[in-house]
């Protein structure tokens, strides 16, 4: 069954490393990552508020295209708030409705099934990375042009807005990835 993985974790927690390892070992897995799109325009990481709405649109379109081609997709983002996760889950639901018709039940998307299908239409797995004090330190090694103070400010802000993941948001399953020793 086609599967979408949403990563969820603070900067430096290992989301992209996990995603790349999974995509390397499984040829049917592909990654969508806004950070990679932000890098595309300059060859190095470049955050431009003017381009941000386009980056979001592009990431969602790439998700659709990969699902159309039959890939399992990792949406490699921080995905720390319910709102952000809901936007992606809603996009997946729309894709399912286009592919399988409007016969959807009222179930959350990860448990969605269609009248003629014995199994759920798609699996949506949240891959959660718990907070760890080493993450900020790791992020500093590839600082994307930000000072340590700036990273600390960004990460502290994100910690405040972080909302715990729950199955009723629409996930089929939640898996937890803990940091291994450096
Ligand atoms: N399990 C691990 N053990 C040791 N180091 C790791 C591990 N996972 C990732 N790292 C290192 O930590 C740093 C951050 O990892 P990564 O880029 O995967 O984080 P991220 O969650 O994608 O961060 P961001 O949200 O900023 O994109 C990298 O230098 C990476 O090599
Ligand atoms: Mg990353």
What is the CATH number for 96? 3.40.50.300
Centre of ligand 1 from the C-alpha of residue 14, in Å: 3
Q: Which atom of ligand 1 is nearest to the CA of 9?
A: 21
Sheet holding 29-32, edge to edge: 29-32, 72-75, 3-8, 123-128, 173-176
143: in domain = yes
37: in domain = yes
Q: How many CA atoms lie within 13 A of 121 on its CB side?
A: 24
Q: Which ligand is in closest contact with the Cα of 158?
A: 1
Centre of ligand 1 from the C-alpha of residue 91, in Å: 27
Q: pLDDT by residue (tens digit) across 108-133?
A: 777 776 666 666 788 999 999 999 88
182: in domain = no
- Look at ligand 1, atom 12, and give the residue with the nearest C-alpha: 138
pLDDT of residue 51: 93
For the chain, the average pLDDT equals: 91
Residue 36's Cα: distance from chain center in Å?
Answer: 13
The Cβ of residue 77 has, within 10 Å, a number of other Cβ atoms equal to 20
Domain count, the chain: 1
* Domain interval for residue 133: 3-176
Q: Which ligand is in closest contact with the Cα of 11?
A: 1
- Look up the pTM and report it: 0.93
99: in domain = yes
């Amino acid at each position: 069954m086609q599967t979408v993985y949403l990563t969820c974790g603070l900067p430096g927690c290992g989301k992209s490393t996990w995603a790349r390892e999974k995509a390397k070992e499984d040829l049917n897995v592909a990654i969508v990552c806004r950070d990679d799109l932000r890098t595309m325009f300059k060859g190095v990481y470049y955050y431009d508020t003017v381009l941000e709405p386009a980056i979001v649109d592009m990431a969602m379109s790439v998700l659709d295209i990969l699902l159309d081609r039959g890939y399992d997709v990792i949406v490699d983002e921080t995905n720390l708030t319910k709102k952000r996760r809901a936007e992606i889950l809603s996009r997946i639901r729309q894709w399912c409705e286009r592919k399988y018709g409007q016969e959807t039940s009222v179930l959350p998307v990860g448990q969605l099934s269609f009248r003629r299908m014995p199994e759920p239409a798609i699996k949506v797995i949240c891959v959660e990375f718990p907070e760890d004090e080493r993450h900020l330190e790791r992020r500093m090694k590839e600082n994307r042009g930000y000072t340590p103070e700036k990273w600390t400010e960004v990460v502290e802000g994100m910690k405040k807005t972080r909302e715990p993941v729950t199955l009723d948001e629409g996930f089929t399953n939640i898996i937890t990835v803990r940091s291994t020793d450096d």
